[in-house]
Amino acid sequence: MEIDQHKSMKMTPQRIAIMKYLDGNVTHPSAADIYGSLRGEFPTMSLATVYNTMEILKEQGRVVELSIDPAKKRFDPNVGPHHHLICTQCSKVVDIFTEFPLGLTEDEKHGFKIVGNHVDFYGICGDCAAAEKERS
Amino acid sequence: MEIDQHKSMKMTPQRIAIMKYLDGNVTHPSAADIYGSLRGEFPTMSLATVYNTMEILKEQGRVVELSIDPAKKRFDPNVGPHHHLICTQCSKVVDIFTEFPLGLTEDEKHGFKIVGNHVDFYGICGDCAAAEKERS
DNA sequence: TATTAGTTGATAATGGTTATTATATGGAGA
DNA sequence: TCTCCATATAATAACCATTATCAACTAATA
């Protein structure tokens, strides 16, 4: 994520820290994750600042909001086309960059003007599988 | 949806009504949608009963919970393999039954044991496109 | 019909997100 | 560099979907 000047976005230490945190981050953090990671550096930072900043980054297309986790929003600084592997136990999300042929006929589009697509794979991640084996 | 006896599920008028409402329903309703649609018939019904019933139907595999809408959970009584067309403006969700080749190599699985997948297409539905044209 | 385990409905509690607002400040212009 | 003000921050209240609690009720079985 380019941490440069941007039209109508005043750069503050908090925003710079959030953008640095997101740059190259592949953990798909929630607002609380971001907040928690930056509290050490900015003890007075508010969760509202995180949400506010994410909203702006979203509008600028520098971040994508994911609906992957039913419990909370998660954010993805990788805005290029890619797909996700989701652990149904621990909610871990891993990026995959495989491309799939996802063409639809006009009929299959049901009158929609398609602008994008996304593939989610569900499964059990290695860590959770190991933990399960451990318990048995 | 078969509205028959089911192991460890006591059939009540409320549950029967919810299951009838879901049977063949393609609107991917939220708990509030279901509640609102049945209030006329059951003025005393509680939202808690809807959530409780959906939880049981989910456990029984008669319904799938969707994370498509960041604002609320939505439910899909169609538990067979299919994909979704999602309107980014009105959140309408339309089913499509096209099958795509979605194989992953072992490397691409990143240690996950894959159990399923789902393709979401994003776009503007016909109604929203028409409404937009109207305004301009 | 009597029994009882499971369900309902009312409502409180929870947790994530959004709104509000007084105070502080980044950054453009003097 | 200094001033000024539009905008951001932080604290916290409000909001809303979901979950938890529990006393009263009831479907299912004997």
Specify the pLDDT at position A5: 57
| Residue B110 lies inside a defined structural domain of this protein | yes
The answer on A65 and A19 residing in a single domain is yes
Residue B76 DSSP class: E
Separation in Å, CA of A50 to nearest CA in chain B: 17
Specify the pLDDT at position A7: 62
- d(CA A11, CA A71) in angstroms, rounded, equals 30
| Residue B8 lies inside a defined structural domain of this protein | no
Which segments in chain A show pLDDT lower than 70?
4-8
Strand partners, A85: A94, A121
- The answer to whether the CB atoms of A116 and B123 lie below 8 A apart is yes
Residues A100-104: contacts with CB under 8 Å, at least 24 apart: A100/B100, A100/B101, A100/B102, A101/B100, A101/B101, A102/B100, A102/B119, A102/B121, A104/B96, A104/B98, A104/B121
Specify the pLDDT at position A32: 98
Give the ranges where chain B is alpha helix by DSSP (H).
13-22, 31-38, 47-59, 126-135
The answer on B40 and B93 residing in a single domain is no
Q: Cβ of B119: how many Cβ atoms within 10 Å?
A: 21
Write out residues whose CB is closer than 7 A to strand D: A 8-10, 12, 14-15, 42, 44-49, 52-53, 56; B 5, 10-13, 30-32, 47-48, 51, 55, 71-73
Rounded CA–C1' distance between A7 and D6, in angstroms: 14
Specify the pLDDT at position B132: 83
Last residue of a domain, one of A31, A60, A76: A76
Beta pairing class for B113-124 and A113-124? antiparallel
| Residue A1 lies inside a defined structural domain of this protein | no
Tell me the chain A residues in contact with residue B123 when contact means C-beta distances shorter than 8 Å: 109, 112-116
What would the pLDDT profile of B94-124 be if each residue is shown by its tens digit?
Answer: 999 999 999 999 999 999 999 999 999 999 9
CATH of the domain at A41: 1.10.10.10
The answer on B22 and B69 residing in a single domain is yes
The answer on A30 and A67 residing in a single domain is yes
The answer on B68 and B109 residing in a single domain is no
Question: Which structure tokens are listed for A42?
Answer: 């900015």
| Residue B52 lies inside a defined structural domain of this protein | yes
The answer on B68 and B31 residing in a single domain is yes
Which segments in chain B show pLDDT lower than 50?
none
The answer on A129 and A108 residing in a single domain is yes
Range of the domain at B69: 13-75
Specify the pLDDT at position A132: 83
Separation in Å, CA of A115 to nearest CA in chain B: 5
Tell me the chain B residues in contact with residue A85 when contact means C-beta distances shorter than 8 Å: 109-110, 112, 114
The answer on A54 and A89 residing in a single domain is no
Question: Which structure tokens are listed for A107?
Answer: 């009929």
The answer on B88 and B58 residing in a single domain is no
Q: What is the mean pLDDT of chain A?
A: 94
**Chain centre distance of CA A32:** 13
Rounded CA–C1' distance between B47 and D16, in angstroms: 13
Nearest to A26 by CA among A101, A102, A85, A90: A85
Specify the pLDDT at position B6: 63
Separation in Å, CA of B91 to nearest CA in chain A: 12
- d(CA A117, CA B12) in angstroms, rounded, equals 41
The answer on B114 and B90 residing in a single domain is yes
Domains in chain B, number? 2
| Residue B5 lies inside a defined structural domain of this protein | no
| Residue A6 lies inside a defined structural domain of this protein | no
CATH of the domain at A111: 3.30.1490.190
